[in-house]
Amino acid sequence: MFLKNKIQISLVAIFLITASCNAQSKALAGKQKSKKQEHPSLVLTKSGVEKIKAQLGTVPLFDKTLATVKAEVDAEILNGIEVPIPKDFSGGYTHERHKKNFLILQKAGVLYQILDDETYAKYVKDVLFEYAKIYPTLPVHPQTRSYARGKLFWQCLNDSNWLVYVSQAYDCVYNYLSENERKQLEKDLFRPFAKFISVENPQFYNRVHNHSTWGNVAVGMIALVMDDAKLLETALYGLKKDNIDPNAKDNDGGFIKKKGQKVGFLANLEEPFSPDGYYTEGPYYQRYAMYPFLVFAEALENVKPELKIFEYKDGVLLKSINTLLNLTDIEGNFFPLNDGQKGMSYFSRELVSAVNIGYYFGGNPTDLLSIAKDQGEVLLDDTGLAVAIGVRDGLATPFIKKSINLTDGKDGDEGGVAILRAPGTKDDYTLVMKYSAHGLSHGHFDKLSFSYYEGGNEVIQDYGMSRFVNIQQKGGGNYLKENTTWAKQTIAHNTINQNEGSHFGGSFETGSAHHSEKYVFDVSNPKVQVISATETNAYPGTSLHRTLTIIKEDDFENPYLLDIIKVDSETENQYDLPYYYLGQIMSTNFKYNAPEVLKPLGTKNGYQHLWNLGEGKSDSENAKLSWFNKERFYTLTSVVSNEDELIFTRIGANDPDFNLRNDPGFIIRKNNTKNTYYVSLLESHGHYDPVSEIAINAFSAVKNLKIVFSDDAYIAVQIENAANRNSLFLLSQKDNAEDSKHQIKIEDKTYEWVGAFHLIKI
């Protein structure tokens, strides 16, 4: 793919979006209050419920989920109603109780519909009236940390979660309630609730952010139940007035709203998603936002089909499901790009929704059924029924994750995230390279960073966020200060750090104005897969160009990773390239000191959190570091000069609350350098079994790694392996055209090739 094509596609997309936007606006206006609203109609529908009832007992996955949900709700009903006065942060009793309430209410509503058992309707009614009793006099939440404090929870975000779920419960028991009961609930609870999270908190509601998505959807869902077209318009297009200061920020340090920015649900759908369905905040928050996006889309499709919400922005919502599933490792865990908690996976309830809704509204792609099978549960609605029937009928096909490139930015022109995947002898290898836009307030300063996986194991890790979500002991379950001082900083990532400062001077504002650029993404040859990208703004006056290639050659047990970074600067600088490996060091081929006391590696920008475990220099042209993790061996072979400092680190300095994971790292440092290359090769090799106590293939197969040619336009890297055979990787650094012809001369031999890169045996 070439940039030119991409731009053309994007222009077309913008035209379509604009056109579709107008159509939707008209459709909404024309249809409002045109017919008496049925109930339920948002997620469950009257006809859907009939279908479900008819199938009960014949669809195993659905029946199993229903039994689980029934057991869970029955236990809660037995436990009795608890609607405490709000007090705690997440992880605390009142927070977790109100969270449980909304999850259970939604489920109880569904059970009432499916099982025709008024126990559940009565339970929903009773709980709702408890809320209606306290809500009118509830002050804002006593915890003051949020830029938008809620009433039930410490932030409006969680209040919105509540309303998204409870609207569905209300929809399910709507007809069970008398008109007077509904009036009272709407007057004392739902309308003031919706008003509080919107009109009274415009800084929360009128943004492009996952927070606002939840807010907009909460208001939109209750608007649909109450059949209130005006409120629905507020949900779709935001508040007309908000008086938000364009310099205001939220408590993650993100801007509230750019001047003139469109807001509301449709804007939230349009802006953070790229045409490829990549959500700029990263997969962890994409997962979080998927639930409101999709459940509201489902509700809109059911109640206002004329909006054609699933076709919006060229069907981006459905695309995003596929994208999100691709942003996982082999075990279904999301890559922890930007702020992301490790361990979050497609087994989350949000992804159960996404997969079910994607299957039902997306033309029944059978590969989603295999994910649903893994998940082992479905939604208790039309979509879940369809999925469970598909699974029952054996329609599932494997969900195959391929090497893909995902553009970032509303129009797909703000860099992206590339994933290369290659099968090994035991496990698949997965490389994730980030060359995207900043990622709003959850972005990290990690241009051109990467992470690398072998099966479900991290080989080179991305640290993720510094937060223990909902674990009260750790800062109330919120972001820890080390998220800013460490996790977001450049040195916390596997990328170039200049002069011990973070990219963009660590400025969110500057970072948000820029993105990296793709140079090459080419996976047409499964044995030589390349992602290459450039970054020229992270350090003004310095340009970075990184090319990551996964190469499969017969002389190596597994595919290896070749990492080439070209650094060009107008000034002399210190460059640091860390590799955050995991495991225990087996050997090095260079000498290093072992300090008697440990000191932090630096004083700021994340360096203050690294213990310096020792430094060395290589007297050969390759520095080799071998380590061992989870019964496997790894070796990083790097081209170095005898001036390069090789530094061993461990995370954990200046961490008085033990908030950080004490993981190791290895830094290659070049001092007083203008232009340079970093070239490294990472192998996974062999294994060791503590039961047989046999070590297989415990040594690197790289005999020598050498830059045999380099000028401003080209680099040639020669890889000599243990079998004394040589490969040459040729790269044009200035011309990425697929059909350009290149020629360089190395020691009297001329090499010619077509396209940006070429691998040959020599």
Q: Which residues bind its own copies (CB under 8 A)?
A: 91, 96, 341-345, 347-349, 468-474, 477, 584-587, 594, 596-600, 611, 614, 626, 628, 648, 650, 654-658, 661-662, 664, 688, 690-695, 698-699
Tell me the three-class secondary structure of 101-117, residue by residue.
HHHHHHHHHHHHHHHCC
Rounded to whole angstroms, how far apart are CA atoms 37 and 183? 16
Contacts 24+ apart (CB under 8 A), 358-362: 358/294, 358/318, 358/321, 358/322, 359/383, 359/386, 359/387, 359/390, 360/386, 360/387, 361/297, 361/298, 361/301, 361/310, 361/318, 362/310, 362/318, 362/321
Cβ at position 283, least distance to its own copies in Å: 14
Cis-peptide, bond into residue 275, ω within 30° of zero: no
Rounded to whole angstroms, how far apart are CA atoms 688 and 696? 6
Question: Is 442 among the catalytic positions?
Answer: yes
Helix, strand or coil, per DSSP, at residue 263: coil
Kindly state the greatest CA–CA separation across the chain.
92
Cβ at position 585, least distance to its own copies in Å: 4
Give the residue carrying structure tokens 């990296």: 516
Which residue's CB is nearer to its own copies, number 109 or number 477?
Answer: 477
Which residue's CB is nearer to its own copies, number 677 or number 688?
Answer: 688
Give the residue carrying structure tokens 């993790």: 629
Give the residue carrying structure tokens 């001092």: 671
Cβ at position 348, least distance to its own copies in Å: 5
Cβ at position 623, least distance to its own copies in Å: 15
8 Å CB contact between 361 and 298: yes
- The C-alpha angle 646, 648, 653, rounded to 5 degrees, equals 135
Which residue's CB is nearer to its own copies, number 596 or number 748?
Answer: 596
Residue 134, classified by CB atoms within 10 Å of its CB into exposed (0-12), middle (13-18) or buried (19+), is middle
* CA distances to 341, 446, 644 from 335, in Å: 9, 14, 31
Q: What is the DSSP letter of 328?
A: B
8 Å CB contact between 252 and 483: no
Cβ at position 425, least distance to its own copies in Å: 16
Which residue's CB is nearer to its own copies, number 659 or number 673?
Answer: 659
Which residue's CB is nearer to its own copies, number 463 or number 611?
Answer: 611
Packing angle, helices 210-226 and 229-237, rounded to 10: 170
Cβ at position 346, least distance to its own copies in Å: 9
Which residue's CB is nearer to its own copies, number 438 or number 609?
Answer: 609
Which residue's CB is nearer to its own copies, number 411 or number 462?
Answer: 462
Which residue's CB is nearer to its own copies, number 96 or number 428?
Answer: 96
Q: Which two tokens stand for residue 338?
A: 């930007």
Cβ at position 436, least distance to its own copies in Å: 24
8 Å CB contact between 110 and 496: no
Which residue's CB is nearer to its own copies, number 560 or number 666?
Answer: 666
The H or E element spanning position 389 is helix 382-392
8 Å CB contact between 207 and 263: yes
Q: Which two tokens stand for residue 128?
A: 């709702």
Which residue's CB is nearer to its own copies, number 362 or number 456?
Answer: 456
510: left (phi over 0), alpha (psi -120 to 50) or beta: alpha
Q: Which of 39, 95, 442, 515 is catalytic?
A: 442
**Other beta carbons within 10 Å of 705:** 22
Cβ at position 95, least distance to its own copies in Å: 11
Q: Which two tokens stand for residue 89?
A: 């942060």
Cβ at position 684, least distance to its own copies in Å: 16
Q: Which two tokens stand for residue 11?
A: 């222009």
Rounded to whole angstroms, how far apart are CA atoms 156 and 145? 12
Which residue's CB is nearer to its own copies, number 295 or number 344?
Answer: 344
Which residue's CB is nearer to its own copies, number 98 or number 546?
Answer: 98
Cβ at position 276, least distance to its own copies in Å: 25
Q: Which of 170, 279, 285, 288 is catalytic?
A: 285
Question: Is 39 among the catalytic positions?
Answer: no
Cβ at position 342, least distance to its own copies in Å: 7
Rounded to whole angstroms, how far apart are CA atoms 671 and 673? 5
Q: Which two tokens stand for residue 184?
A: 């009272």
Cβ at position 717, least distance to its own copies in Å: 26
Tell me the three-class secondary structure of 498-557, residue by residue.
ECCECHHHHCHHHHHCCECEEEEEECCCCCEEEEEEEECCCCCCEEEEEEEEEECCCCCC
Q: Which residues contact 372 (CB under 8 A, 6 or more apart)?
A: 61, 352, 355, 356, 359, 378, 387, 388, 390, 391, 396
Which residues are tagged catalytic?
Answer: 285, 442
